[in-house]
Structures are given as structure tokens and as C-alpha cells.
Structure 1
Amino acid sequence: MKLPAVAIATAFACGILLGYLSFTSSLLATPFWFRGLFLLSLFILLIGVEFVRRERLQAALASAVCAWILLGALAVRIADRPLPADHVLAFIQKGELELKTPLRWRGRLRDEPRRLPWGYAVDIDLAQVNYQGKALSTRGGMRLGYEPTIPAAALADFHAGDEVAFTAQARLPAVFRDDGAFDRRDYLAQQGIHLVAPLRAAELTERLKPAPKTLRVWIARSRAHLRMELDGMLAGAPDAAGVLRAMLLGDRSFVDREESKSFQATGTFHVLVIAGLHVSALAFFLHFAARALRLSRGLTSLFILALLIGYVAVVEVRPPVVRATLMAAVVVLGRAMFRRLDLLNSAGMAALVILLVRPLELFDASFQLSFLAMGCIGGLAAPWLENTIEPYARALRGWRDVTRDAANEPRPTQFRIDLRALDRWLASRLPGILGARAGGGLAALTAFGFRVWEIFVLSLVLQAGMLPMMAKQFHRITLSGPVANLVAVPITGILVPLGFLTLGAGLAYQRLGALLGVPLAWLTHLLMRMVLWLAHFSGWSYRIPGPPWWTVAWFFAALVALAVLLRLGKRQATRVALVCLALAAGVIASYPFAPRLTVGALEVTALDVGQGDSILVILPRGKTMLIDGGGAFAGFRGEENYAGPDPGEDAVSPYLWSRGIRRLDVVALTHAHHDHLGGLIAIVENFRVGSLWIGREVAAPAFARLEQLATERHIPIVHEASGASFDRDGVHGDVLWPHTAGKEPAGPPKNDDSLVLRLVYGKRAILLPGDAEKDAEQEIVAETPGDALRADVLKVGHHGSRNSTTPEFLARVHPSLALISSGADNPYGHPSPELLERRDRWRVLAGVVLRRVSRGPSSRCLNGSATSRSRAEAPELARSQWPLGIRGSSCIGPRKRHCLRAHHCEPETSGGKRAVRAARTLQTLRRSGRGARLLHGA
């Protein structure tokens, strides 16, 4: 077998998949089956050895595959161990530790304090926490963030390895619980970070013991010193320093968000992630240096391996770097033993080593993309190049030497003969030295053209081969990748060795480092300008929903078939496989599927966007309206100075894509505070938008940027004001506020600018007041006659603050359900205690469920005569415990989301019995600790 490592790694991966199934997992949980299957795998391996001894290789191969599949299933059980009893998360899960108040922690600094755009952060390996007068020994990781007001000098005495004590209120990393949303908590857990906490003052941290002199501490301090050295050499070009931090040291903290989007849009983001390209460039540079030093083959291999291992340690042991270094090590060791290894076999060996150490790495997107890239290069690009230009590229070596013609195939040999003839002709026609050098120049130009074509083919194959993964994981299709990488890859191949050479020179002699930093900064700016220029071409990159599983299976089946047929040299079958692959790629890239919507009902979904607001409205015949896009709060003037998670990109967009939505007919902004506006920038960039609705024009940078983006994309901007109405898909909508919607800025944004909408479908209504406060509510109540304010569902104004949702307003609205969009640990205490206490004064209401939207999207479907609710909204309640007498059957079910259409919403019992049921439901919700509240009156 030519690819034994690939076969073994594939079998082991299949075993991991098998072990991950619920049936197999429950089976292996019993010691009897676990030990039995382990002994069986050893027995099969022994049988395989006997088959090898008898030279029955096919039977030996089958035995080995079966044994590795069983070992893979067992590895999952070993890797998927529960948390240790003293882990900080185990204490929290068991209720033995609560994070409601600041606590005194002890631990050891994992790294040097790291400078970030907003301040400083340091990672700490926890050792102890004082809780309720007891010192609990614990383990786990915490990221401690220093407020920007704390001076950098206060951190000067803290270094990697120091044992410290500090007082901080820790919390679990915030996550958005919408379908498809980025899971930041899991992302940090993979880095060993389980809690995060802000440090309010430097005096709250105490250094207990200095760091011991260990190799780990020395590496951590060297890493910090390299970052400082790089920043110092490029102090005049901070944007270039941020990109080089990412390319050389793996720190993307200072890459601007817009720059990051440009790299993503052009398919060149991989140059910012240390992986195969960077490790290959560094290994090639080290090989060149070893040859210049005239080292032997063995010493060259040791030299390269030692420095690559040191590089992995300096940039931290990140999975992509480890994978690339393992593959480089396999190639280097193969050359040292005079063996030429197949690229696929090298990738198989690296994958097997990683999966043996960390079996669950198989489910990591980074792992999948890395080895899919290697598979595309080794299985498609390498055979393609070998059958086209590679024989001619090899024929250029020593092309003037006639004695080497016999070492080439007939066509490349003829190519050498023609090149020599052309050289003689040019020499006879051109004068002097020009004629003597013409042939060499022509050969060099031809070799350069071959290398350009090679980069283009590699980029094209990689972009095409990773198409399903990019669409599934990142919802992006990039068409400019092959062209952009023609420039990005060579520049990166120069920047990486030049960057490390500059760092080394700067450490030895500062002026020399500053001198080399000039061309380094120039090349970096060249790369950035090229990427930015290509990113401006609209249509070359666009966002789509993730493809259905069967299209992905179709694509990869055709891809594997094409790779196998290329190796076998089956030309006709290769063409058929190529056509099948192209068809699958076309289906994935175009996404011709209808969105998954509720037909014949008005659906309203309040999305989990943390502390902001975002509401998706789907009309009965499929028209879509998004009201606000969430966003982290960045001041009441709508500034853009926040650089944290973007709810529009990380929560709202993934949820819309999870339902197959590519177009939003209306995007409405209630008002220009950043917790409503911030995410809409990403929404307008990611989706086709029919029109943008706004109320008052205000003076705010983020608001101006949103309007500018809408104008650039030819999106009509509609100014809505009270008195306006619309009718779409059988739904009547009224704009109740604000009074004026002029095009002249009316000063800084405020809550009472909010666009207030009331949607009516049949006999049911929904009221969406944005952040309107009591002044606006009083005017709305005074100006709206009769039952024109009545609504079955109310989105509570201003996240449940005490200045909104007044008793008079509630009495007029008379909702059956009230939704509060307020994340956990709200810095302003929303929802306010005053609002929650008002339930005792709401005598006019028979029962109101108050749902806090902080644990996933909350959906409501109105079919014109009844209201239904999402089961995900209160998962701790059995159906019989749901208030308001709602019964239901599933009407749609994309993944975790179930929207139930109610048979009826009338009370099943008398008012007194329903009040008792409401009280019991309130107790259940309180016991669950999930933030929901039930408000009711007598």
C-alpha cells in the first residue's frame, strides 16, 4: 500500500466518529464492554501480525483497519472524561461555588501581562478561591482583564510564573445562545480559559511569590519581549505592526476589524493565521541558512527541528502551528533518512499523532480545514501539476547540459532541445553580452511563469476544495482567492523569514533591527493595500447560509473520487468526477434553497444578543423584517469605540443563516444607541436588504456610517414617523412614535427617539417599543385611541428599566406575554426591581408571562386567532405546566428550534385556578434560576 499512514489515520478517525455516537458511547460507558473491546482490538492486531508473517497482506490490512477503528472508539471514551472534582467549573455546576460577588482568588500567571487595544489582560492558572470563609483548592484558567484606567506601570512587577492573589468578580464567558452563533465560551475553554473577570483597581492584586526559574517562564518572558521588540521597531507604523504580530507571533489582537474583513473577503485570511504557509517559509529559510553554513544532512535536520520546536514554544502551543510543525518534522526526518515521502502520507502521520493525543480534535473546524487543505494539495494539486508543468520545470535544471537529456521524458527532453535552439538563435541575433545572456534570462522567465502557475493552481484547488467547509463554518464564498493569493503567498513567503531576521537583528543590535524594519513595514503595507484594493470589488465575495448535509456529502464523495482517479490515471472517469464536483460546488455556492420559515403565521423572534436588542419578524407569506441588530454598549452618543464581539456577525447573522435566510425585506433601526445599532453594520454587509427604516436623524458616527453603507449598497432609506402605516402579507403595521422623522440631525441619540411599531395579524397584535421611556409612553397613550394599543405580545421597553413600561402603558397594552431583552450581568441592573415588583399592582391583568431573553431566542407565532410559543423558551417546564393554557403541536423544527402552533389560547380553567397555576409556574421558574419571571394580578 502506497499510503499506509492515510489508511490508519482514516480508520482511527472513523472509530472516533463511531465512538461519538450516543449508542456506542453508552455502550463503552460500562467497564465490561470497554475492556472487552480493548482486548478484542489487541487480538485483531495480533491476527494482523500473523497475516503479515504469512504474507497475506490484504487480510493483514483488513485486520489493521478493524483494530484501529475499535481503538478510535475507545479513545473517545478515554478523552471524554468528566471534569475533575476540584475544577472550578465542577464547583459551579454542583452549586458549591457561586459567582455573584467578588471573591479572593489565588493562582499563578501563565504568561506575561498582554497589551490589548482596550487595556491589558493576563491568564492565570487558578489554585485556590476563598468562598464563605473556606479556602477551596481548585484548578482551571481565568482571564483577568485590567481596566484601561489602570496605568501600565502598575503591572510592571508582575511576570509569568508569579504566584498572585487578587479580588475580582468572575463570571463564565458570555455566549450568544442563538442557533449557529459563535460559542466564545467553548473557544476560550480550548485555550484553558474557563472564567473571565475585570480588575477594577491595581491594589486588588498582590504578588505572593516570584516566579521560579524554569524553561516555561523563560519562554513566556521571551515571547513578551519579542512582542515589545516588534512594536518598538514599527512604532511609526502601528497597522503594519498589528499585521506582523499576527503573522509572526500569532497575536491578532491588533489587527483592525476592517482589515480582518478585507483579508476574509479576498480569501487571504490564512496569512494572518500561523499555519502551514508560515512554517514552510520558516523551514525553507532555515534550510537555506544551514546550507550556507555547510552543515551536514543530519545536522541540518537537527538544526531545523530544534528551531521549529522553539518557534512552537514561543508562539504558544497552538493546534494549527503544532499540525504544521509535525508535518514539517516528518518531511525533514524523511530527507535525513534519504526517503521521499508522499505529502498525503506525511499529513496522515501528523493527523494520527494528533488524534492519538487528542481524539476530540477531530471535531475542531481548524483541524478539519488544515487536513482538508493538505488533502487537496496532495490529492489534487500535486497530481495536476505533475501531469502538466512539473516535468517541464524539472527539465529547466541544467538545460544547457546535453548529457542530462536522457533523465527526462520525451516531451520535456524536446522542450530542452527547443530551448537550446532558441538560445543559439538569440545569441546569433543579439549583440555581445545581451546575446550571451538572452537564453538564461528566457529560462529564468519560464521558471518564474511555472512558479506563478503553481501558486495559482494551489490556490484554486484549495479554494475549491474547502468550499463546503467555508460555506458551512464561515458562511462565505470567495471568488478572488486564486488571484489575491498570487501576490499574498509570495509576499508572506518573504515577510516571515525577513520578520524573524529583523527581530533577531534588533535583539542583537537595535539600529540594525530598525534599518531592516523599513523594508519589512513597506512589504507589509504592500500586502495590506493589495488586499484592501481587491476587497472593494463587490460580488467577488459574498455570504450564504450553510449548505445542507447531503450537498456536502455529494461534494466530498466527488472530491475523493477525483483524487483517486487522478492517481490511477483514468482520464474518462476523471472527467465525470470533475463534472460531478463542479455541479456540487455550484449548488453550494449558489444556495438555491428556500428559507425555512413559518408559513401562514406572523412569527416574532427576540434574539439573544447580550445586552442589546434584535427582533426578527417573519410575515405570513415569507417577507422578513429585522428590527435592530444588537451591539455592545459604547456610550449614549453612538460611538464606534468598541472592539469586542459583534452581535450582528456572531449572533444575528448565524441565526438568520441557520434558517436559510439570504434577504431581509426591511431592516429597521429603532434608535442610534450602539446596543441596537452596532450589529446592523454587519447585517447590511452580509445580507441583501430591501430597505432601511429609521426614525429621527441624529448626530452619531455609527449612525452616519450605517447610512453611508446603505447608500453605497443602493438600499433605500425610509424615514418613519408616527401616523405612518403599512400593509404587507396580510399584516397591518402602525408607526406610533416618534413624532418627527426629518432628514436633518436632531442632536445626539436618546431612548425617546425610538421607532415604536405595532403589528396586527387578524385578531392578534404585537407591540415593539424599542427603548421608549415613560415620556414617550405617556404621549403614545394620550394620542392612541381605544384598543389601538392592545397587544398579545409586548417587547418591554428599554430592557426592563424603571423608566419604561409604566403601569398606565401596560394597562392599555394588556399583553399576555412580555419579553425583556437583557443579558446576564447587566451593568445597569436591568430588568429593574421596580419593574418586577409592579406585577403586584397589575390588577387589570389575569396573567402575564415575563420572559428574559438571555438564554437563546424566544419565538412567537400568531396565526391570526391564536398565539404559540417556542419550547426552547422555557425548557425546564413540562408542557402541562405552561401558563395561559397553551397546547401545541410542532409546526416547524429547524435543529433546536421548535415553533408550536397553539390549538387555542383560552383558559382551560377558571381564573382562580389559573392564578394558582401561574403562582406555581413562578416558583418553578425561580427555582430554575434561568431569569424568567411570571407576573400576575388577582
Structure 2
Amino acid sequence: MFPLFRPLVAFVAGILLSPCVDPLSVWLCAPLAALLGLARRWCLWLAVFLTGAGLAARQDAGPADLGPEPVRLIGRVLRPPERRGLGVYLDIQLQSVDARPVHGRVRLTEFLEDPELRDLFNALDLGTGDQVEIVVKLHRPAVYRNPGVFDYRRYLARQGVYWTGTIRNPRLITVLKRGGHHVDHFREWIYSRLDRGFQSDPNTRGLVMGMVLGLKHNLTGRVEESMRDGGLYHLVVASGFNLAVIAAAAARLTRLITGNLRIRLAVVTLSILVYVLVVGGQTPIIRAAVMALIFLAAKALDRGYAPLNAAALAALMLLAADPSLIEDSSFRMTFAAVGAVVGFGVPASRWFLGHIEARLRAFDDASRDGRLDPSIADWRVERRMWCELHGLPYWAVTIPWRLRQLAGQAFIVSVCVEMVFVYFMVESFHMLSPISPLLNIPAGLIAAVITTIGFLLIPAPGFIADSGAWIIDRFAGALLMLLDFGLSMPLATLRVPSAPPELWLLYALALSAAAAAVHRRKRSLCIGSFLAIVALQATIAVMDFSPPAPNATVLTFLDVGQGDSTLVEFPDGKRMLIDGGGAAAGRFLSLRDESTFSIGEDVVSSHLFSRRLRRVDALVLTHAHHDHLDGLLDVIENFKVGELWLGRNPMIPAYRSLIERAQERQIPIRWMHRGDAAGSISVLHPPRDWRTRTTAQNNDSLVLLLAAGGQTALLTGDLEIPIVAPDRVDVLKVPHHGSGGSRLRTQSGIRVISVGASNPFGHPHSTKLPALRTDELGAIRVVMDGAGPPKISSSLTRPCPACKLALLF
């Protein structure tokens, strides 16, 4: 029974369509619909729908901007400073800004490369509850506003964080009032106790801290990428898996001590609450805790328990508290996983492996044989006789078969979860991992062992802790070896673009048919639907769903922060990417963990994948500065590339790496100079006799003139010197992010500047304005069709979010 399914669907539908309804009318109609629901059931669902729409419409749009000048804020520290590399991150609940009451949170960072500044900051001894006064310049969280790219600003807004800033000096922080640091000290004690045995190996240390406490920022870049590629990332972040392991371990231990059900439930509940406290109330853990507490409450009240019903109730409670969670992919993945396990995996394992359970249940009870199927009864009799003949206990037969049963159940559940997660893996991470179901079985068991022993290490004395750390180290090493071996297999992980909605509709129908076949135990339907799922996954993996060629040449200036990347699409279907941004631009996000973040992977590739592209016909590097070059390294790995255009650049390590990767993938390289041409593109710089220096220079830039539809566009890289170029073009990519040092005199009616928000270089210079800026408009799209001036749009002109979310669901 799943009675809460329809209320949940109605509530979600109301949230999705809330932008399309009037809030006042919703709240006027909701009570009337609830009254009519006493007589007509459908009116009750309408009342739930209206409640969801009303709650979503009430969401605060957020406070207003605070202006460009530094402010004096007063607020309360929400958690101890979080150290990542040389950066310190601080979350503040605002109370006032320049003596004006302000609500919301601010996330601040301070870079402490200087040991003196580090000592000054440490002397402040900041902790939870401290009231502080800080002088800092606040701004909205930076975000890469390209279609298909993760919206970091929206992600922070769902946590109540509306501003970020960088503290220039610890002397700008004043502690007004101390809060109680007892919880901080408790957590620090736990972290230090767990961390003590793994200081020598950063890979094992990050793995253990992630699995036990959900502290993923301790992961090394290598381990984080490997876990993501292998489909095991859920094991090293705070998730329901961690909570389930802790709760199961507590239940097992209390069962050995007492048979009193209420005492056991109380201990398990306490262990869940303590774990939530230890990990700092991370959102995925809170979601899992809500579901677990519903289950425990049902047990304590001697009520029946339906896992899907508990999940639906938890989803309703969480969405009622914060309707914006519907946009959170983590929220959707959590409940998709629960649905896949409980509604699909467990029934499938009971069906496929039910004969093993029938054979092993009460194996030593011969009186049951007469009530069983003859084949099962014969099997039991034969095994018991074999044990008696060889003088062996019955568990010599039952234990191996139980292990087979557990392995089979784990495999079936893992396959079912992966089949459901294909949508999220493709649309969110643009990845298919065929090896994941196989890796998840041993990896899940190893993670359960590491999590359980890790928690037991915390109170353990030294000699026991050393032994436990040695065991954990061996298990962690085995997991990393297993992961490396699995990922080394051919086709272990595939990069794929987004798929069309109609294909996902077919996939949803195939999944529904498979689930129905499992519940009704229809073997032929199950086989057919499973083959359909495999065929659709193969289609997603290999089929080209690239959009049709545009009717005119289209330039898209991507928002890559303080860097450059331009996608050019031609009417003949060819596509060219000029520069790929770079990892250096990522630091202008100020507060993102940079361990594996890459502009090329997380911004440029994500946008191209969201466009359903598999191929880029030409990659162009204007010059070898990191904010233009680094992203191309990821693009080469993720896409089929027709050819690579290069000018004249010094052979710095990153440039050499780009050439080597191109050669490894057998990508033709074209060396371009002034006077060269390819189709509608002419090269204006550099000349053939251009001499490079030992380091990359802005004036090494490859400058391209594009002619299309009787219109022209000049794409300049970071060029600063004057060159021979048209006096006027229709579209100009302003050189060097709008720097005042550029002396190019070409005029244009449309000027585009690719620049990072709040960058420390003062770009763009006032003399280069007015212009269209990626830091203000996001991705800028220019259509050169020859019919009047080029047509302009940006990523800020987007469809109704309700329509997009309705399509998604």
C-alpha cells in the first residue's frame, strides 16, 4: 500500500506550477477545496495541490543588493571556520549591515598564505555562536550563467546564503560576544580521534573522513575523480548510506545486549541524532534521519511500516518546510534511490532469489519439508544427509548459500538503482558507468566496514585504535585498488551528452514496465522491459542527438569567469570552439572547493553536453595563457575533435600537454598565421615570423576575422598591440577582458567583453564601455543572419522555470 503517493504528486505539481498561479487566489481556494474534499476525493487532492502552490509562492526572493562599497556587518558565526588548503571559510548569520537590520547568511573566505596573518586569525578563536563585526565588501555569489551549467548561486540561496566576500585582513574582524563552543570542541575531539591513524596517507585519510563523517573536502583530487567515475561518490559524502550503517550497527549491538524492543529503538534513535550532530546537520543526513525516525516511530507505536509511504511522508514534510528543494538534484536523487531500492530492487531480489530463502529458512526443521515444493524439500533433505554423513554442522551448508544470497541481493538492488540513476548520471554528470553495479557490491561492503570500525575508533584507547586504523587502512587500500582496476577496463565509464525528452519518456515507460513485471512476477514482461532498458541505454551511449544546424552563423560567448571561450556554429553544421577558459578563473568563485573543479569540465563541457553535442569540428587556442588554454584539455578528453588550430606560443608545460593530448587522440593540428584562411574565417595575427618569449604573452593571440551573411566579427583573444584589421566590424570581442591596455582601434556596433565578476584586475576599463558583459548577462548569443543588425540574446532570457521543471519530472 502506498496511500501517500497521490498527495505527494499533487503537492509536487503545485510547487512546479506555482509561478503560473496567483498566490492570493490559491489561499482563498485551498480551504474551500479541503471542505469539498470531505465529499469528493479529487477535491482533497486539489487542496493539496493548492497548498503546494501557495507555499512555493510564499518563498522569499531574497534581500536586496548591498551595493559595491565595503560594509560593516554584525552577525553570528554559524559553525567553526572551515580550513581548505590556504583558505578559511566562515558562515555568518547576518543581524545588521551598516546598522541596518538585514536577514540572510553570508559566506566569507580569507586566504592565509602569510604566517603572520594565519597567527592573527587563529588568535581570534572563532566558533559557533560568536557575535562578530567584520568590515568586508560583499557581493552576490559568482556563478557561470550558461545553459546546462550548475547554478551555484541558486544552490547557495537554498541554504539562505545570499552574499559572499573575501576578508582582506584578520584585523578587520572584531569579536563582540563569545558563544558556547562546546559542540565545536566535541566535533574537534571526534575529528582528531578519527584522524590520528591516517596522517601519513592523504588518500586513505580523505577516504575515511568522507565515509565516516561525510567530510568530502578532505578527499584528494585523484580519489574524488575516481569515486565519481566509478559511480561510488555517494559513499564518500554525507548520505543515507552512512546513516543506515550507523543505525544498523547500533541495532545489532543492542540486540546482543537486550531483548527489550523499546530500549533498542531508543538506542538506535540516539545514535541517529548523535550522528546528525557530529556531521553538522548536513542536508542529506537530515533527510535520511527524517525517514529513519518515521520508521522507528512506527515500530515504537506497533504500527505497520511501508518504506515507500515513509519516504513519501518524509518528502512531504521536507517540501512543506522548503518547497525550493524540488530544484535540488540531491533531493531528487535521495528519494529516487529509496524508490529504486524499496519499490524495485527488494521485490526483484525476493522474486529471483526467493527459492534460496525457502531452502534455507529453518533448515534444521525437517517437519517443514512436507509443506514445501518437492524440489525444495529434496534439496534440503539431500544437504542435511550430506552434513550428517560427513559429521558437519548444518551451517556448513547454510552459510555459503547465505553469502551467495546476500551477494545476489546486493547485485540485483545495485542494478535496479543504477537503472533508475541513469537519468541523473546523464543529465547532471553527463556520464554512464557500466562498471558501477559491479563495483558497488564490494565497495558498499568495504564502506560499511570502514564506517563501523571508524566510529568505534573514536572512543577506543591507543593500542586498540592503532589496530583498527591498520584494518581500515587495508580495506581502504583494497577499495582503491579495486576502483583502479575497474576503471582500467574498456568502456568502464563513458562521457555522454544530454538525451532528448522523448527518449527519457520511453525510458520511464520501460522502467515502469520492469517494476510492474517484478511486482506481478511476469517473467516475459520482465525480460522484454529489461532488454528495452539496455537498448535505450545503448542508444544514449552511442546515438548522436546534436541539434540541427542553425540557419545563420551563431556566436555564443560563454560565461567562464575571468577567461575566454566562444562557440561558433555555422549553417553547414560545423562547430568551432575558440578557447576553453581555465581553472585559474575558478578561484573567482571565492568559496568553491577547487580540488577537482575545472572550467573546462564543469562549465564549458557541461554547456556543450547540455546542447547534446558529441563533436567539435575545430578547437582554437588563441594563446597559451591558462584562462584560455586549460579548459581545452578537458574538451579534448570529452569530445570528438576534428582539428586543433594553434598560432605561435612558447612551449610551456600546459601548452605541451595540450599538443601531446591532441597527438594521442590523433587530432590533426593546423598551425595558423596571418594570411591563412579556412572557409569564412581569415587569420589576421600573428605573422609567420612572430617571435615568442619564454612565457606566454597576450600579444601571441591568434586573431580571427569571421565573415558571414554579409556581416563580420573580429575575435581578438587578449591582443593588446595594434594590427592591420578592418576599421569597423559588426561584432567585436573586446581584447583582454576589456583591459585598458589594448590599443586595437576597430569599431563595432556590438562589443562583447568576457570577464569575471569582482575580478581583482579592475576589468573592464571604463574606456572599453559600453559593452555586453558576460559577468552581467551570462552567455551572450549573437546571430549573424545578414537581415539587419546581428540579433542578441543572453542566458538570462530563459523559459518559465515551472515549464522546465514540469518537463523534467
What is the TM-score normalised by the length of structure 1?
0.78
The alignment partner of 1:106 has SS state of strand
The alignment partner of 1:18 has SS state of helix
**1:336–1:403: structure 2 CA closer, same or farther, 3 Å change rule?**
farther
| Amino acid corresponding to residue 268 of structure 2 in structure 1 | I
Is 1:852 the equivalent of 2:807? no
Displacement of 1:496 in angstroms is 1.0
Is 1:610 the equivalent of 2:561? yes
The alignment partner of 2:174 has SS state of strand
Instruction: Pick one of 248, 252, 255 that aligns with 1:291.
Output: 255
| Amino acid corresponding to residue 383 of structure 2 in structure 1 | L
Is 1:451 the equivalent of 2:451? no
Q: Deviations over 1:607-663 (max 9, x none)?
A: 111111000111221111111111243799xxxx96485322332223222322111
Q: Deviations over 1:8-49 (max 9, x none)?
A: 2432332331353258622x433xx523322321442x44xx
Gaps spanning 5+ residues in structure 1: where? 48-61, 428-434, 837-848, 877-893, 897-938
Instruction: Pick one of 121, 128, 152 that aligns with 2:96.
Output: 128
**1:834–1:643: structure 2 CA closer, same or farther, 3 Å change rule?**
farther
Q: How does 1:426-465 map to 2 (within 5 A)?
A: 427=390, 436=392, 440-465=395-420
After the TM superposition, which of the residue ranges 72-81 and 269-278 deviates more from structure 2? 72-81
**Aligned residue in 2 for 1:148:** 112
Is 1:822 the equivalent of 2:789? no
**Identity score, percent:** 29
**Aligned residue in 2 for 1:111:** 79
CA contact (8 A) 2:706 2:713 kept: yes
Displacement of 1:793 in angstroms is 1.9
CA contact (8 A) 1:566 1:574 kept: yes
Instruction: Pick one of 709, 723, 731 that aligns with 1:793.
Output: 731
**Aligned residue in 2 for 1:871:** 793
CA contact (8 A) 1:792 1:816 kept: yes
**Aligned residue in 1 for 2:590:** none
Is 1:501 the equivalent of 2:439? no
- Is the radius of gyration larger for structure 1 or structure 2? 1
**1:453–1:703: structure 2 CA closer, same or farther, 3 Å change rule?**
farther
Is 1:12 the equivalent of 2:11? no
**Aligned residue in 1 for 2:50:** 73
Instruction: Pick one of 127, 145, 153 that aligns with 1:159.
Output: 127
Q: State the alpha-carbon separation in 2 of the partners of residues 264 and 521 from structure 1.
A: 21
Q: How does 1:510-549 map to 2 (within 5 A)?
A: 510=462, 512-549=464-501
Q: How does 1:271-290 map to 2 (within 5 A)?
A: 271-290=235-254
**Aligned residue in 2 for 1:900:** none
Instruction: Pick one of 426, 434, 437 that aligns with 1:482.
Output: 437
The alignment partner of 1:792 has SS state of strand
Q: State the alpha-carbon separation in 2 of the partners of residues 767 and 291 from structure 1.
A: 74
Q: State the alpha-carbon separation in 1 of the partners of residues 55 and 477 from structure 2.
A: 48
Is 1:260 the equivalent of 2:224? yes
| Amino acid corresponding to residue 121 of structure 2 in structure 1 | A
After the TM superposition, which of the residue ranges 732-741 and 651-660 deviates more from structure 2? 732-741
| Paired residues, number | 791
CA contact (8 A) 1:819 1:850 kept: yes
**CA RMSD between the two structures:** 3.1
Instruction: Pick one of 334, 341, 348 that aligns with 1:377.
Output: 341
**Aligned residue in 2 for 1:880:** none
Q: How does 1:644-723 map to 2 (within 5 A)?
A: 645-723=597-675
| Amino acid corresponding to residue 629 of structure 2 in structure 1 | L
Q: How does 1:57-456 map to 2 (within 5 A)?
A: 63=41, 66-83=43-60, 89-92=62-65, 97-98=66-67, 100-130=68-98, 135-149=99-113, 150-151=117-118, 154-156=121-123, 157-211=125-179, 213=180, 218-336=182-300, 341-393=305-357, 395-405=359-369, 409-423=373-387, 427=390, 436=392, 440-456=395-411
CA contact (8 A) 2:567 2:577 kept: yes
| Amino acid corresponding to residue 492 of structure 1 in structure 2 | A
Displacement of 1:770 in angstroms is 0.8
| Amino acid corresponding to residue 868 of structure 1 in structure 2 | P
**Bigger relative contact order, structure 1 or 2 (CA pairs below 8 A, ≥6 apart):** 2
| Amino acid corresponding to residue 756 of structure 2 in structure 1 | G
The alignment partner of 2:772 has SS state of strand
The alignment partner of 1:188 has SS state of helix
Q: State the alpha-carbon separation in 2 of the partners of residues 851 and 739 from structure 1.
A: 33
Displacement of 1:817 in angstroms is 2.3
Q: Deviations over 1:582-625 (max 9, x none)?
A: 454444444442324413x2221111111110001112211111
Q: Deviations over 1:830-879 (max 9, x none)?
A: 1113444xxxxxxxxxxxx7322222221222246765222338979xxx
CA contact (8 A) 2:225 2:596 kept: no
CA contact (8 A) 2:675 2:682 kept: no
The alignment partner of 2:794 has SS state of helix
Q: State the alpha-carbon separation in 2 of the partners of residues 696 and 419 from structure 1.
A: 77
| Amino acid corresponding to residue 199 of structure 2 in structure 1 | A
Q: State the alpha-carbon separation in 2 of the partners of residues 632 and 799 from structure 1.
A: 16
The alignment partner of 1:648 has SS state of helix
Q: State the alpha-carbon separation in 2 of the partners of residues 76 and 409 from structure 1.
A: 54
Q: Deviations over 1:780-807 (max 9, x none)?
A: 33xx7xx5x7643221111111221x2x
CA contact (8 A) 1:691 1:716 kept: yes
CA contact (8 A) 1:119 1:148 kept: yes
Q: How does 1:459-474 map to 2 (within 5 A)?
A: 459-474=414-429
After the TM superposition, which of the residue ranges 280-289 and 411-420 deviates more from structure 2? 411-420
Q: State the alpha-carbon separation in 1 of the partners of residues 509 and 443 from structure 2.
A: 31
Displacement of 1:127 in angstroms is 0.7
Instruction: Pick one of 17, 24, 31 that aligns with 1:29.
Output: 24
Q: State the alpha-carbon separation in 1 of the partners of residues 490 and 751 from structure 2.
A: 42
**Aligned residue in 1 for 2:717:** 770
Q: State the alpha-carbon separation in 2 of the partners of residues 764 and 302 from structure 1.
A: 74
Gaps spanning 5+ residues in structure 2: where? 588-592
The alignment partner of 2:205 has SS state of helix
CA contact (8 A) 2:752 2:771 kept: yes
| Amino acid corresponding to residue 310 of structure 1 in structure 2 | V
CA contact (8 A) 2:615 2:641 kept: yes
Q: State the alpha-carbon separation in 2 of the partners of residues 480 and 230 from structure 1.
A: 31
| Amino acid corresponding to residue 243 of structure 2 in structure 1 | V
